Structure 1
């Protein structure tokens, strides 16, 4: 099925709803599409007057305010590149992203800016309070005429090694992602989408773009407890909710007014697999909702989705390619894997990102020529994930070949956790691993060499230096950690040494 309007446009053209319809709903009320368009133009004009050069990076470190929701459109309209920073990150991670992206401007709140220390922000980066960014100034910029292949955003994502890396996304990447999702979710102008995921997450940011492309309303929400989500569904009349498995577990366990639960007609999941038990729980709690299981990676946005009509019969499937994506299964030698044969998921087509920002080596590892037998050709993302094509052409996720920890929908670099653990000197050595957890998908376990009496001090320090989703839940201490023949830490040996009596314990 070919979606409508496939020709890519600049991403700031995505505000397509009727002028008087609500584009954005928050506690301050509703912002119409006409008002949102004017605000994007005002912010873009303000950015154009800040002395930045075309292509310079503008970072935002904000909760889901109106400014945070509109900057992804305003920065590209001004010829700049938007770099959203997860508001859950702490100063060390923020400093890395600012330095790595070479941001010339950071829009944040005074309380957040006050947590940054000397050296966290380079001399070439200006920190601006969110209140200084106009939403209704007299000056404004009209819709851009940018080349759809021009860089529009850099989203930072963690891998198995090193610090977060910036994925470069063009206008076309973002536009076609919005078109594809609006199309296969069958979003309509009457829909109201409750956006609970971080806007720095490609899945969360796309909720804005796909909703607005469909002419529907989006209600951004920063929540502290599952009950906040329930209240927001009631307050805004949400019809659509996207989440990750740990959130669904919490929402299934939360009391819902029957009317609010019945109002939701569309649930979308990514960032981890749904279990058959969880699918049954969602069915019981939200009887009117279609459940969409999806698979994606930031380097290609979204690869597959499963038609809701198939999820009961195939609860472990990740589905088929979304519009604009070509997804194939390749053997190690690059040939096509046969149905039923495990192989690497390779994503080709116009949703493939432009590579990693200023990192040619890692770009060459992940972004490689598509298999010669693919239809799209060109550059493809070799995901490193193993899948199997099963009956009805549906793909099933088997596992990943790297050591990335995937917890509560977040991809976490074990190296980054290890560096933080060792920074204070409480342990001599550390290895971070993902262990199965029914609520988080994976929990972070750290195996350390050193004195276990230092653990309270270590925990206290990490609470101030790492965001909540990167906090280790399990600590195991050793006199020494196993090493391989080359003298390097043996991660497989460390994993094998984990105390099995602690498996499944309450973390």
Structure 2
């Protein structure tokens, strides 16, 4: 058995902490010994399906203890896990099934109908017994009690994750077993996680940030408290009732937490168990930081920046969050980061260039997409003018992230834009992210905003700002404030108010700019 796999953590936890509570969900809980037993039962059944090695198995269900068992069971075989978020529509599920040829799907009663609409012809396993007489975890737990052993190779493919963006077909990113355990190790290290911690499992498990909560819990023999965020009140009850100490969030969760009247929110004393809060996947505004400070005054807040092609690149230490709140921080342990310009030379402080990720946590590439893989996963020769490649040691792979960033004089990094997001107007390249950051920082009445461009033949592209707030603001007041902080060519020429902004169905942390753009073009 490889030491570089999640299966090893599970086996060791069963020996050293078998009576420790591993998972909590509502009023249910399970020990490491019980978890190990159930994972083995499901893994045994999966192997009896006799699918070819590296067959893809999807998980499409709501959050539950059985969902975590399914994840760990697949990772205890030589099959590959494909998480399918419950937010996806049947046509999106159908796309993923076809793209990576999923042979089996594990699901719950609610999702079976959607799977059937996707014309899936493979094996379906349900957590509960069904009228369709499908195999179920209930039956597996009852009848499968034989010993189970496995030999997982740390370099083998473990997971393929898909992220549906706003345009184009999604690409699956391939993650190895070693990637999973490396990411658990590094996060446990810099967050200083402890065996006594209770980690909130609020994030969905379709991407690596969410899955990492499971693996960090195993790595430290901690407890993972599962929760599905629907209402702020229920979420705070989860924190208090489950005695959560580690709180991983997306920025949208922070907004949702405090989108309540103040008298309905719990006191800071009731939330004092929280010692670490993390956020990744988007911009954290000043209002979010103030709310967190008010209700979690003793918690350390870590802002983090990850890549599709590598688990994580940077984090900002809690001590810096109010000194440089717009920074994405510095490289995490075992990672080297470089910023290079179009000539391949290292950028000077304040000069914008592409972020190059070297070192640990790099994933294996895009599934069945050699052109896209070659575009992002580059030879270290891309850094030939930056580092010493003496000895022709040029087989190393680095990630050309497509993120445009700059560093300050102290080496802290700042995100500017994605390569494909840049707006070209009046001969200048403009970052929508930069304009949005100024809005959030200087116009507190605005709750959400989106900046994008529409075609204008006279100036290439015209900048548009759409925002939401409790009430509409005078356009001239918005423009007046923006002119204090932005160059004239960066000021949006069109500003629109919406009571709320549409979100991407598969990622509630992203505003759906394509729908906004389409609505504006249709109404011009």
Specify the TM-score bucket, using the shorter chain as the normaliser.
0.7 to 0.9
1:348-497 → structure 2 map (5 Å cutoff): 348-370=358-380, 371-372=383-384, 373=386, 378-403=396-421, 469=508
2:132 equivalent to 1:127: no
Displacement after TM superposition at 1:104 (Å): 0.5
Counterpart position of 1:74: 73
* Cα separation, 2, equivalents of 1:301 and 1:228: 30
* Cα separation, 2, equivalents of 1:305 and 1:146: 31
Counterpart position of 1:13: 8
Deviations 1:437-475 (A, max 9, x none): 579xxxxxxxxxxxxxxxxxxxxxx99x95584895865
* Cα separation, 2, equivalents of 1:197 and 1:183: 20
2:333 equivalent to 1:323: yes
Counterpart position of 2:224: 218
* Cα separation, 2, equivalents of 1:36 and 1:235: 22
The change in CA–CA distance for 1:12 and 1:341 in structure 2 (over 3 A counts) is: same
Q: Is the 8 A contact 1:38 1:140 kept in 2?
A: no
* Cα separation, 1, equivalents of 2:309 and 2:368: 15
Q: Is the 8 A contact 2:166 2:512 kept in 1?
A: no
* Cα separation, 1, equivalents of 2:71 and 2:30: 17
Structure 1: segments with no counterpart, 5+ residues: 1-6, 408-432, 440-461, 482-497, 500-507
1:213-292 → structure 2 map (5 Å cutoff): 213-254=219-260, 255-292=265-302
Counterpart position of 1:306: 316
Displacement after TM superposition at 1:71 (Å): 2.5
Deviations 1:263-282 (A, max 9, x none): 21111010112223322221
Q: Secondary structure in 2 aligned to 1:317?
A: coil
Deviations 1:70-104 (A, max 9, x none): 23322132110000101111111111111111010
Q: Which structure is richer in relative contact order (CA contacts within 8 A, separation 6 or more)?
A: 1
State how many pairs are aligned.
427
1:97-176 → structure 2 map (5 Å cutoff): 97-117=96-116, 120-123=118-121, 125-131=122-128, 132-133=136-137, 134-135=140-141, 137-142=144-149, 144-159=150-165, 161-176=167-182
Counterpart position of 1:339: 349
Q: Secondary structure in 2 aligned to 1:25?
A: strand
* Cα separation, 1, equivalents of 2:518 and 2:19: 61
* Cα separation, 2, equivalents of 1:158 and 1:248: 22
Displacement after TM superposition at 1:160 (Å): 5.9
* Cα separation, 2, equivalents of 1:117 and 1:74: 24
Counterpart position of 1:177: 183
1:12-31 → structure 2 map (5 Å cutoff): 12-15=7-10, 17=13, 18-31=17-30
Deviations 1:424-445 (A, max 9, x none): xxxxxxxxx9966579xxxxxx
* Cα separation, 1, equivalents of 2:269 and 2:254: 18
The change in CA–CA distance for 1:172 and 1:339 in structure 2 (over 3 A counts) is: same
Deviations 1:292-315 (A, max 9, x none): 000002310111111111111111
Displacement after TM superposition at 1:326 (Å): 2.2
The change in CA–CA distance for 1:161 and 1:366 in structure 2 (over 3 A counts) is: farther
Bigger CA radius of gyration:
2
The change in CA–CA distance for 1:374 and 1:296 in structure 2 (over 3 A counts) is: farther
Displacement after TM superposition at 1:23 (Å): 1.1
Counterpart position of 1:293: 303
Displacement after TM superposition at 1:27 (Å): 2.2
RMSD: 3.1
* Cα separation, 2, equivalents of 1:86 and 1:140: 32
Displacement after TM superposition at 1:381 (Å): 1.7
* Cα separation, 1, equivalents of 2:166 and 2:344: 23
Displacement after TM superposition at 1:135 (Å): 4.6
Counterpart position of 2:59: 60
Q: Secondary structure in 1 aligned to 2:329?
A: strand
Instruction: Provide TM-score, normalisation by structure 2.
Output: 0.75
The change in CA–CA distance for 1:310 and 1:360 in structure 2 (over 3 A counts) is: same
Displacement after TM superposition at 1:30 (Å): 2.1
Q: Secondary structure in 1 aligned to 2:254?
A: helix
The change in CA–CA distance for 1:33 and 1:230 in structure 2 (over 3 A counts) is: same
| Bigger Cα displacement from structure 2, 375-384 vs 333-342 | 375-384
